[in-house]
Amino acid sequence: MTSLLLFDTLTRQKQDLGPPGQAPVRFYSCGPTVYNRVHVGNLRAFLFYDVLKRALLWLGYPVRHVMNLTDVDDKTIKGSRAESVSLRAFTERYTELFLKDMDALGALRPDVMPRATDYVPQMVDLVQRLLDKGVAYRSDDGSVYFKIGAFPGYGRLSHLEARTLQAGAGGRVAQDEYEKEDVQDFALWKAWSEEDGDVAWDTALGKGRPGWHLECSALAFEHLGESLDIHAGGVDLVFPHHENEIAQSEAASGKTFSRLWVHNEHLLVGGQKMAKRLKNFFTLGDLVQLAGATPREVRYALISAHYRSQLNLQVTYEGEGEARRPVRFDSLEVARGALRRLDQFRKDLQAKATGEAPAGGAERLARAKDEYREAVRDDLNVPRALGVLFELVTDVNKLGAWDAAYAREVQAFLDDADRVLGVLTPEPEALAPDEQALFERWKAAREAKDWAAADEARAALQAKGIQVQARKGSEPTWARG
């Protein structure tokens, strides 16, 4: 079987995406609101999208991935006004930081990353369609609201009860973000108000700006059409954001907006929801600085739990209240240990390729391939997929030695498996300045055929745990270990 199974939030069941075809999988994921540096909880969601996209490609599906950048909403406007900079300059800054973080974490770039503000005409058209169909209405101030009572499917994704819906009928909510207790008609278009400052567009709907929920429907329509195959987001987006996306999209098009809805669970840090006052609010930069972690270790820690399980990033703290500070990032140390084991195995594969073709080796590798594929295919079971790799490491190590062909086959499998995980390739390590100087001295001495000086430099590097190598016809290299 090659088709991907995904747990669909709408039907509360695993659904089969169907076998890969010629047409790309139309994949939409909700992107960042570019008003601050994204925290590690956000990163979990973005890495979930990345692993999902990689799994699709690995299973043979062509993919078209669209992820929006929310560059106009309550938070971005507030942030830019607080700093007295233009909305575009403000959101540009955080867009760049976001892309830097994602690149460092090895996430594939989406095929299209549209900024909401570049699509105001499309959003206005969508609102007009909803007005024409009578499922949206204007309020006294000129804003336009979606009438949830006019859309019978409202609440299906988040399983809102009829009672909750009735309680909200007739009320209106203007804010972009709100809780289930406030289920009410939501703003599609917000007439200009003083808090918006100079953020406004003059459109057929009047002077104003889009509400946050509207952009994802308009951008998905624009870049993927009116029906998607997979829509992904964090579990906190189920209500109201995705509920509202479904309502406005399906009321306008009359079509199913997305075949599958997939959501990743929350990330806890130190067993609690992230909050600045708990000192457990971290960005990638914080983890690199405070924990001495590499982005590869952070990626491993964030993808290694099943996306539908809560993930607790374990941190050990000292002190109380204001003095409370993190002293150890336990989950990142676990990640470091796991990656070291895999890196060591990669080295051993070459070093121990001095024997014969191992008995049973081919069968063991074939089993690992089958199990790995099944783990990925069955609702992206990354913990199981990693388990398959570690079990293989244990069993191959038990063989003691093997031939070069077997080493190559196992290595090829790891490389292939890594197309999904993106964590197995070691980061290139840099030499410290004094090490680099020794390495240069060794190379220069060799060039000059001053063998005594070359040996001396080599010995000094070895004392620092660095092995050097010079093969005919290729650049001299170094490695730790």
**Which residues lie near Zn ion (CB under 5 A)?**
30, 216
* Between 261 and 329, CB nearer to Zn ion: 261
Q: Report the nearest approach of Zn ion to the CB of residue 212 (Å).
A: 8
Q: Report the nearest approach of Zn ion to the CB of residue 116 (Å).
A: 10
Q: Report the nearest approach of Zn ion to the CB of residue 216 (Å).
A: 3
* Between 102 and 216, CB nearer to Zn ion: 216
* Between 69 and 293, CB nearer to Zn ion: 69
Q: Report the nearest approach of Zn ion to the CB of residue 30 (Å).
A: 3
Q: Report the nearest approach of Zn ion to the CB of residue 241 (Å).
A: 5
* Between 216 and 386, CB nearer to Zn ion: 216
* Between 190 and 458, CB nearer to Zn ion: 190
Instruction: Please state, in angstroms and rounded to a whole number, the distance separating the CA atoms of residues 429 and 365.
Output: 30
* Between 95 and 294, CB nearer to Zn ion: 95
Q: Report the nearest approach of Zn ion to the CB of residue 286 (Å).
A: 26
Q: Report the nearest approach of Zn ion to the CB of residue 119 (Å).
A: 13
Q: Report the nearest approach of Zn ion to the CB of residue 458 (Å).
A: 57
Instruction: Please state, in angstroms and rounded to a whole number, the distance separating the CA atoms of residues 211 and 139.
Output: 14
* Between 160 and 228, CB nearer to Zn ion: 228
* Between 30 and 148, CB nearer to Zn ion: 30
Q: Report the nearest approach of Zn ion to the CB of residue 312 (Å).
A: 26
Task: Please write down the HEC assignment for all residues of the chain.
Answer: CCCCEEEECCCCEEEECCCCCCCCEEEEECCCECCCCCEHHHHHHHHHHHHHHHHHHHCCCCEEEEECEECCCHHHHHHHHHHCCCHHHHHHHHHHHHHHHHHHCCCCCCCECCEHHHHHHHHHHHHHHHHHCCCEEECCCCCEEECHHHCCCCCCCCCCCHHHHHHHCCCEECCCCCCHHHCCEEEEEEECCHHHCCCCEEECCEEEEECHHHHHHHHHHHHHCCCEEEEEEEHHHHHHHHHHHHHHHHHHHCCCCEEEEEEECCEEECCECCCHHHCCCCEHHHHHHHHCCCHHHHHHHHHCCCCCCCEEECCEEECCHHHCEEEECHHHHHHHHHHHHHHHHHHHHHHCCCCCCCCCHHHHHHHHHHHHHHHHHECCCHHHHHHHHHHHHHHHHHHCCCCHHHHHHHHHHHHHHHHHHCCCCCCCCCCCHHHHHHHHHHHHHHHCCCHHHHHHHHHHHHHCCEEEECCCCCCCEEEEC
* Between 67 and 410, CB nearer to Zn ion: 67
* Between 31 and 361, CB nearer to Zn ion: 31
Contact 227, 26 (CB under 8 A): yes
